[in-house]
Amino acid sequence: MGGSLPMPALPPADLHRLHFINTLFARVTGHDLYLARQIQEAITFSLAELEEQMRAHPEFAAKYDVAFTTAAAALLGKFFAEEGPGHGFFHWDASRTVTSATPLFARAELMAGLKELAPFPESTLLVTNLRPALLPADRRATPRRQRDYENALAYIRDLAAARTARGTGLHLLFL
């Protein structure tokens, strides 16, 4: 027989976070869910106080998701910094300010990030919270808001493609 013990069933939100971590840290985990679960638990441990508040106030769930994503992005940035000088990393949080996701400010912030990544032969541009910034959970997802979100995705892809030197490997991640 042999093998490892099965993992206990996870609530849907935790399962979503596990898949998120498994994808984000694929270079570290090799898509091993056990290793991804360890990273997830480390991040969850660092957010224990907020998680406790969320139990008493379920409306904090969105706040917890943002904090989890931010902690995961910081950990990924640390990983790339320690990996060596050949890989650049830039994290753009679209919900950092109320104007970050608007086209003018998004362009300025993304251009700064792409300029920072330019010297690297391979780099990762992580974009987080674009969906919540343009399609807030507490507001109705109107066709206009959905269109704005789709246009923002296309704009970021096009900008990254246009401002990245040929032969450079840019990994563009949207979370």
Per-residue pLDDT of the chain (175 residues; tens, 9 = 90+): 445 555 567 777 788 888 888 888 887 888 888 888 998 888 888 888 887 877 777 777 777 787 888 888 888 888 887 776 778 889 998 888 777 787 778 899 999 999 999 999 989 899 988 888 888 877 888 899 899 999 999 999 999 999 998 888 898 988 8
pLDDT, position 6 = 59
Query: Residues near 106 by Cβ (< 8 Å), separated by ≥ 6?
Result: 94, 100, 152, 155, 156
Query: Residues near 173 by Cβ (< 8 Å), separated by ≥ 6?
Result: 24, 124, 125, 126, 127
pLDDT, position 74 = 86
First CA to last CA distance, the chain: 39
For 20, the 3-state DSSP assignment is helix
Place of tokens 């910081």: 74
Distance in angstroms (rounded) separating the CA atoms of residues 90 and 124: 6
Distance in angstroms (rounded) separating the CA atoms of residues 25 and 93: 18
Name the nearest CA neighbour of 126 among 44, 70, 86: 70
Exposed/middle/buried for residue 135 (C-beta within 10 Å: 0-12, 13-18, 19+): middle
Name the nearest CA neighbour of 170 among 109, 106, 127, 107: 127
pLDDT, position 7 = 57
Q: What are phi and psi of 5, to 5 degrees?
A: -70, 145
Q: What is the pTM of this model?
A: 0.75
Q: Going by DSSP bridges, is the β-strand pair 169-174/122-128 parallel, antiparallel, or unpaired?
A: parallel
